[in-house]
A = this chain, B = another copy of it.
């Protein structure tokens, strides 16, 4: 089974006109023919099964056979994480988090951040590819790069958690997972002392993820998998 992504269709669609990027992929890269069966998601829970009616490289048309509405995850996970200096490590986090299961990601600009600019469009592509690869029908929401103080001073109805490496009293993430989780992960040089203190004053609880010292992107994945595993057992 191969999955494609076209955000613009709803559950009543009879014909799906696929965007140029995915049309090119269907027609030119995978050389799909008229009559071939394909699966398409809108990234918001709909999974359509259909037959190729036109394999035009800029505008494939898919005749819909049926559309399933997949159930959204019962829990919500939002990770706000500082992009790593090495961009491939951050893209790796995006890919793996999407495979494992995540609803929302905010790239975070921290005091010790070495990477201070990001390419959101490129990151969107990583998320889409990982969603298709893992056959998920939900595309995580990716927010813009946000400064630490702007981020933590906003309102959230979530269990608010901050993973840091200082020797403060901390709970293990596995003990405090709620239904709606917001986890902050710092940059290579960790959050600064004043960032940690500010987060705590805004109701973020310090957590530890492991007995090992984890790299930023590993911490992100461990947090993501911990929440998913705890909610599944």
Binding site for B on A (CB under 8 A): 92, 96, 99-101, 133-136, 172, 174-175, 210-215, 218, 221-222, 225-226, 228-230, 232-233
Contacts and interface: CB of A to CB of B under 8 A. Distances in A.
Nearest to A135: B213
Given A222-B225, A225-B222, A213 B133 contact: yes
How many copies, total?
Answer: 2
A230 B135 CA distance: 26
Given A92-B92, A96-B221, A229-B229, A215 B133 contact: yes
A210 B100 contact: yes
Contact of A229 (B101, B134, B174, B214): B174
A138 to B, nearest CB: 10
Contacts of A136: 212
A134 B213 CA distance: 4
Contacts of A134: 212-215
Given A136-B212, A225-B229, 14 more contacts: A92-B92, A99-B214, A99-B215, A100-B214, A100-B222, A101-B212, A133-B215, A134-B212, A134-B213, A175-B233, A221-B225, A225-B225, A225-B226, A229-B230
Contacts of A229: 174, 225-226, 229-230
B232 A99 contact: no
A225 B221 CA distance: 10
A101 B229 CA distance: 17
